[in-house]
């Protein structure tokens, strides 16, 4: 299972880096682009904190910043996820955590990992649409292109 999640989160880094390059190298008017990219990083840190229980400068889910801050956050949080996966031995453990509303849940680590990866893919799809609306070609970030690279 470690190999599968390693591959998934290596893909996550690859895809996030493609979008980071496009965001960094283009001028755009729609601030939702930066907001969504920042949200990917925020959510990655929030979910990692829920699993590791570290409470290390965890942002709110929609905390915003500049595009450069968003890029740095996404890169840092993506790498931290990969580091976690490298060190993790058991993926079927169930953890208890509180969501942003304070509700308590129990979820398997493997399900959280799947959620985090899918969450990033979902929002990168939204980013692709927003970039197109700005006449900026979004990167091709489908998993199969990662596999072929």
Which residues make up each annotated binding site for a divalent metal cation? 39, 119, 123
Question: What are the helix (H) ranges across the chain?
Answer: 2-25, 32-52, 67-87, 109-133, 143-148
CA 143 to centroid of chain Cα atoms: 15
Return the closest-CA partner of residue 37 out of 5, 63, 9, 10. 63
Q: Which residues are annotated as a binding site?
A: 39, 119, 123
């Amino acid at each position: 299972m470690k190999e599968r999640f390693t591959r998934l989160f290596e893909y996550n880094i690859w895809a996030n880096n493609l979008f980071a390059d496009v965001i960094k190298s283009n001028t755009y008017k729609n601030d939702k682009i930066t907001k969504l990219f920042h949200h990917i990083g925020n959510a990655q840190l929030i979910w990692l904190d829920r699993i590791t229980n570290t409470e290390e400068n965890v942002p709110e889910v929609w905390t915003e910043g500049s595009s450069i801050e968003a890029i740095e956050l996404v890169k840092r949080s993506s790498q931290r996820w990969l580091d976690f996966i490298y060190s993790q031995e058991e993926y079927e453990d169930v953890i208890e955590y509180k969501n942003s509303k304070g509700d308590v849940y129990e979820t398997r680590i493997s399900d959280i990992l799947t959620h985090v990866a899918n969450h990033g893919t979902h929002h990168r799809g939204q980013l692709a649409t927003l970039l197109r609306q700005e006449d900026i070609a979004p990167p091709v970030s489908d998993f199969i292109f990662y596999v072929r690279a």
